[in-house]
Amino acid sequence: MTLPAAERKSALRRQIRAARAALTAQDRARASEGLAASVRRARALAGAGDTTLAFLPHASEPPVMAALEELHATGSRVLVPRVLPERRLEWVLWQPGEPLVRSPHVPLDEPSGPAASDLRPSLVLVPALGIGENGVRLGQGGGFYDTFLASLPASDSVLVAAVVYDDELALPDAPAEPWDAVLEWAVTPGGLWRRRPPQAAETRVAPGRCPRSTRWRLA
């Protein structure tokens, strides 16, 4: 019998966190460089405005700090989330060296500056533990990004990309619940990936596709 999605998500989260925790410092240094290049590519394809909604990586999350520093150094406006009650996020302007304080809601350190009133993102980097073949996102389990992404006005000019390791992209049996965000883009150390509709994927064989999937292609 198939377990309920929530239980399958918990098992998958445990498995992915354990795999992340086993990475060496050298693995992470290499990933950091790859992620910086992939974020550069995402920024180049993103819409006008040059505002990135990012996240400060904690513990074993993919090391995007070098990418954020580069965004900041080259003039992008970088905002990071702060957790509010009731699964809500607000966004705070970030710069390298920004002092952080412990969140009263989740085990994370966050900036304490004023919340930005005007987001206008061109690029959204979404933390994730895994992304399904069909684009469904597995997060840390708070439901924060599902709520936030659902509130973003639909726009062709915003590039919304999950940030995961390469072997966490295109998971074949990712559990999905009705509220889960489904993403079209992913940033990994190996590149910037875009998910194609099923028909397009089945009729074409192109280089640069994800090893587990004909639907995710390098962009």
Ligand X SMILES: Nc1nc2c(c(=O)[nH]1)N(C=O)[C@@H](CNc1ccc(C(=O)N[C@@H](CCC(=O)O)C(=O)O)cc1)CN2
Ligand Y SMILES: Nc1ncnc2c1ncn2[C@@H]1O[C@H](COP(=O)(O)OP(=O)(O)OP(=O)(O)O)[C@@H](O)[C@H]1O
* Numbered residues of the known binding site for ATP: 9-13, 137-145
Q: Which of residues 80-119 bind ligand X (CB under 6 A)?
A: 81, 83, 89, 106-108
Q: How far is the CB of 147 from ligand Y (least distance, A)?
A: 6
Residue 8 touching ligand X (CB under 6 A): no
195 and 187 in contact (C-beta within 8 Å)?
Answer: no
Instruction: Write the single-letter amino acid at 160.
Output: V
Phi and psi for 9 in degrees, rounded to 5?
-60, -45
Residue 55 touching ligand Y (CB under 6 A): no
Max CA distance (Å), the chain: 53
Residue 9 touching ligand Y (CB under 6 A): yes
Residue 62 touching ligand X (CB under 6 A): no
148-177 mask for ligand Y (x: CB under 6 A)? -----------------------------x
Classify 15 as helix, strand or coil: helix
- Interface size with ligand X, residues (CB under 6 A): 20
Residue 43 touching ligand Y (CB under 6 A): no
Q: Which is nearer to ligand Y, 186 or 219 (CB)?
A: 186
Rounded CA separation 33/10 (Å): 30
Q: Which is nearer to ligand Y, 142 or 211 (CB)?
A: 142
Q: Which of residues 63-102 bind ligand Y (CB under 6 A)?
A: none
Write the CA distances from 155 to 22, 47, 54, 97, 119, integer angstroms. Answer: 38, 10, 18, 32, 13
Which residue of 5, 10, 17, 90 would you call a contact of ligand X, by CB under 6 A?
17
Q: How far is the CB of 201 from ligand Y (least distance, A)?
A: 25
- For 9, the enclosing helix (H) or strand (E) is helix 5-21
Helix axes 65-73, 25-45, angle to 10 degrees: 40
Write the CA distances from 45 to 12, 49, 113, 128, 160, integer angstroms. Answer: 31, 12, 30, 21, 11
Dig out the tokens for 33 from the structure: 């460089």
Binding site for ligand X (CB under 6 A): 17, 55-59, 61, 81, 83, 89, 106-108, 127, 139-142, 144-145
Q: Give the footprint of ligand Y on this chain (CB under 6 A).
A: 6, 9, 138-147, 177, 179-180
